[in-house]
Amino acid sequence: MNYVVIGNSTAAIGTVEGIRSIDTQGTIMLISDEPHRTYSRPLISYYLSGKIPESKMYYRSKDYYERLDISTRLGERVSVLRLAEKAVVLESGETIPYDRLMLATGAKPIVPHIPGRDFKGVHTFIKWDDVLRLEKVLRAGSRAVVIGAGINGLKAVEALVKCGVEVTVVEIANQVLSAILDETAAALVQKTLENHGVKFYLNTTVAEIVAEKEAASGVRLQDGRILDCEQVVITIGISPNIDLAEKTDIKVNRGILVDEHMATSVPDVYAAGDVAEVYDSLYRERRVLPVIPNTYKQGFNAGVNMAGKVQSYGSSFAMVSIGFFELPLITSGIVKPEGEGFTELADTASPQDYRKVILREGRIVGYVVLNRVDCAGGLASLMEKEVDVRSFQQDLFKENFNYANFLQSPK
């Protein structure tokens, strides 16, 4: 069997390891437009701030590809899929055949059409090469504007502050981390960042990046105000990288549509990770779930199926565990419920702590915990096992509450 994997991040690694768990003889070709061996993208902000060295960026050994007998084409880009011929074409024009193909192309940064976005000093923040370019130009005491206050944006903010940069954040929403936090939790995160000198402009956006001699010198907001800076970091968000699939018969929505075996609508073509749409058991709909544990599991499951064993992936839900300076937070599932049928339980006893659980039909479908996050593991287990918590919901936030006593409860 001849396998081709496009991508080299978590889903791709899951795929080749899934393949090799079944098929130790087939040939595997892994193609990636990044020149680096596989590394952990969530660590790029820690690399930029100096918290971890280059050696800690890699989560597989240097001989990894050799040990798994994987041929690599790093730093090369696939330009076209020829599905009828079962081949992929590189930008160089070289054609590579396959028997089974994995699209683990991940996500790409959303870069709006802001005038001036091509000036020197304008960056994105999703790949290692992004921070390597930033690293070369950052100077302590310089100024940066970060456009967007999502996860990537605020991790960029934290890293820039630790580099001695004065940081201003511009966000179109009325809060930070609007996709994963409610307003109360977001205000605590914002306050933590403000305590480290970060300034915020919410409910607005950048109308133009201004420059001197083709280098960014500031941004102009919608109301005309100018924020001076030397670097602009665009972190509006990410979108599934479906460019290759859009030119083919592969069915796409926001991401590439896959079934329970991670197979696409085209025979022998699979997709996994940030590019794939899978079923979210909490939202009860198909969604893209760009979360590291999910992307690896998707890839591994796809690899197993590619190698000939039938194995269903099932469903997923999103969970984010992250921290900003001294404030840890864990959030999962539905945190800002819309419509009827939800119950919200909040613990606000301490002004520095915040814990909230969202119930539907007596079962946990989402939670947010800040600062005191020791209860998150128990909440996650109750949510995953769909335990009806109504009989003890008033005890969920009590000290020394033993979640394990209830994890065997019937659904």
Determine whether 227 is exposed, middle or buried from the number of CB atoms within 10 Å of its CB (0-12, 13-18, 19+): middle
pLDDT at residue 409 greater than cutoff 60: no
The answer for residues whose C-beta is within 8 angstroms of residue 405's C-beta and 6 or more apart is none
In a domain, residue 316? The reply is no
pLDDT at residue 170 greater than cutoff 70: yes
State whether 228 and 245 are in the same domain: no
Q: Do residues 310 and 22 lie in contact, with contact meaning Cβ atoms separated by under 8 Å? A: no
pLDDT at residue 411 greater than cutoff 70: no
Q: Give the containing element (helix H, strand E) for 167.
A: strand 166-171
pLDDT at residue 89 greater than cutoff 80: yes
In a domain, residue 168? The reply is yes
State whether 46 and 144 are in the same domain: no
State whether 226 and 82 are in the same domain: no
Q: Which stretches of 163-260 are DSSP H helices? A: 183-194, 243-246
Structural domain harbouring 176: 122-236
Query: pLDDT per residue over 187-213, tens digit each?
Result: 999 999 999 999 999 999 999 999 999
- Of the candidates 210, 236, 262, which is a domain's last residue? 236
State whether 244 and 100 are in the same domain: yes
Look at residue 309 in the predicted model and tell me its pLDDT. 95
Binned at pLDDT 50, 70 and 90, residue 404 comes out as: confident
In a domain, residue 322? The reply is no
Query: pLDDT per residue over 111-160, tens digit each?
Result: 999 999 999 999 999 999 999 999 999 999 999 999 999 999 999 999 99
Binned at pLDDT 50, 70 and 90, residue 318 comes out as: confident
Query: pLDDT per residue over 225-261, tens digit each?
Result: 999 999 999 999 999 999 999 989 999 999 999 999 9
Residues 251, 240: Cα–Cα separation, whole Å: 14
In a domain, residue 315? The reply is no
* Encoded tokens for 96: 């590579």
Q: Torsion-angle region of residue 325: left (phi > 0), alpha (psi -120 to 50) or beta?
A: left
State whether 262 and 332 are in the same domain: no
Q: What distance lies between CA 118 and its chain's CA centroid? A: 25
pLDDT at residue 350 greater than cutoff 90: no
In a domain, residue 261? The reply is yes
pLDDT at residue 79 greater than cutoff 60: yes
Residue with tokens 């061996």: 37
State whether 147 and 212 are in the same domain: yes
Q: What distance lies between CA 35 and its chain's CA centroid? A: 20
Query: pLDDT per residue over 96-106, tens digit each?
Result: 999 999 999 99
Domain total for the chain? 3
State whether 19 and 74 are in the same domain: yes
The answer for residues whose C-beta is within 8 angstroms of residue 222's C-beta and 6 or more apart is 204, 205, 206, 207
Look at residue 410 in the predicted model and tell me its pLDDT. 46
pLDDT at residue 374 greater than cutoff 90: no
Q: Do residues 269 and 258 lie in contact, with contact meaning Cβ atoms separated by under 8 Å? A: no
In the sheet that holds 342-347, the strands lie side by side as 319-324, 327-333, 363-370, 354-360, 342-347
Look at residue 201 in the predicted model and tell me its pLDDT. 98
Average pLDDT in the chain: 94
Q: Give the containing element (helix H, strand E) for 67.
A: helix 64-67
State whether 100 and 248 are in the same domain: yes
Strands 122-124 vs 231-234: parallel, antiparallel or unpaired: parallel
Query: pLDDT per residue over 8-30, tens digit each?
Result: 999 999 999 999 999 999 999 99
State whether 349 and 366 are in the same domain: yes
In a domain, residue 323? The reply is no
Residues 236, 148: Cα–Cα separation, whole Å: 5
In a domain, residue 180? The reply is yes
Residues 76, 17: Cα–Cα separation, whole Å: 22
Question: How many other C-beta atoms lie within 10 A of the C-beta of residue 334?
Answer: 18
Residues 231, 141: Cα–Cα separation, whole Å: 12
Look at residue 408 in the predicted model and tell me its pLDDT. 60
CATH classification at residue 362: 3.30.390.30
Query: pLDDT per residue over 257-312, tens digit each?
Result: 999 999 999 999 999 999 999 988 888 888 888 788 889 999 999 999 999 999 99
Backbone angles phi, psi at 371, to 5 degrees: 75, -70
State whether 230 and 247 are in the same domain: no
CATH classification at residue 127: 3.50.50.60
Hey, what amino acid is at 166? E
State whether 136 and 70 are in the same domain: no
pLDDT at residue 69 greater than cutoff 90: yes
Helix axis angle, 183-194 relative to 151-162, nearest 10°? 20
pLDDT at residue 72 greater than cutoff 80: yes
